[in-house]
Amino acid sequence: MFVKEGETVELTDGKNTFFIKLKKGEIFSTHKGNIKHDDVIGKEYGQSVRTHKGNKFVVLKPTIYEIIMYGIKRKTQIIYPKDSAYITLRLGITSGMKVFETGVGSGALTIVMANAVKPNGVIYAYEKEISHLKVAEENLRFSGFLDYVKLIHRDISEGIDEGDFDAGFVDIREPWLFVEHIKGVLKKGAPIGFLVPTVNQIIKLLESLERNGFINIEVKEILLRNYKPVAERLRPEDRMVAHTGYLIFARNV
């Protein structure tokens, strides 16, 4: 597979890794030397390119995981892949679906869901902070998924334009205040998910979901532990991505 202009590529020498969106005529500068975009365009993935100082970098096609963890800009705390992948599967998000999201932040979850709905679906992403929305737009363009997302600068307390959503996800501070409103824009039987960081928020959200007739309510937490990949002394890493948030799921009936 040959590298094309406009694609985002990963350049690595095994220790240093960079992500760039390719444009003819531009130059990417590193402490190991400059790399011409034109030298990368037309290469096959897996081949190498050299800087003007002679240092070699391998050209790779980055995974969505790598783009989210190492490539995008972070204006806010992101929803990590360990959660976003589960959220996308748990909500049954697939190609052609119309999905509601509020609390976009830096757009990490939006990228994962947009990958799932392409090429015929759309994510309607509401975000009240314009600075967050601009970063999310930049990240979506960088990752190549902006065409599958409609970014909307609005607090959902001011209303939700669209309706008849196949699924939805909510990542805002006080979601229980908007459960009744969100219920009205979801299809009957549609799944909805929430992320909150504290137990106090879960209790208020559960009360609101039950009061508004949601069923199949679940509360989950996902932990992830890495291991040191050394054959002679295989053991867990000293640090782990543990609590990042509580996930709540329900069905609208």
The mean pLDDT value for 163-181 works out to 97
Residue 13: other Cβ atoms inside 10 A: 15
pLDDT tens digits for 220-251? Answer: 999 999 999 999 999 999 988 788 999 999 99
Alpha carbon distance 205, 178 (integer Å): 10
The mean pLDDT value for 170-186 works out to 97
Ramachandran angles phi, psi of 14, nearest 5°: 100, -25
pLDDT at 1: 85
- The verdict on domain 8-62 having CATH code 3.10.330.20 is yes
Ramachandran angles phi, psi of 209, nearest 5°: -65, -45
Tell me what percent of the residues of the chain surpass a pLDDT of 90.
95
Alpha carbon distance 62, 10 (integer Å): 6
Residue 114: other Cβ atoms inside 10 A: 27
Which has the closest alpha carbon to 196: 178, 216, 214, 215?
178
Would the pTM of this model clear 0.85, i.e. be above it?
Answer: yes
Which has the closest alpha carbon to 58: 23, 22, 17?
17
What strands, in cross-sheet order, belong to the sheet with 48-50? 17-21, 8-12, 56-60, 48-50
162: left (phi over 0), alpha (psi -120 to 50) or beta: beta
- Confidence category of residue 157, pLDDT binned at 50, 70, 90: very high
The mean pLDDT of the chain is 96
What are the domain boundaries of the chain? 8-62, 66-251
pLDDT tens digits for 76-116? Answer: 999 999 999 999 999 999 999 999 999 999 999 999 999 99
Terminal C-alpha separation, the chain = 47
* Pick among 3.40.50.150, 1.20.1050.90, 3.90.1150.10, 3.10.20.30: CATH of 66-251: 3.40.50.150
pLDDT at 179: 97
pLDDT at 59: 97
* Range with the poorest average pLDDT among 130-134, 143-147, 233-237, 238-242: 238-242
Question: 12, exposed or middle or buried, with CB in 10 Å at 0-12, 13-18, 19+?
Answer: middle
pLDDT at 243: 86
Whether the per-residue pLDDT at 62 is higher than 90: the answer is yes
The mean pLDDT value for 50-68 works out to 96
Which tokens go with 73?
Answer: 């800009």
pLDDT at 177: 97
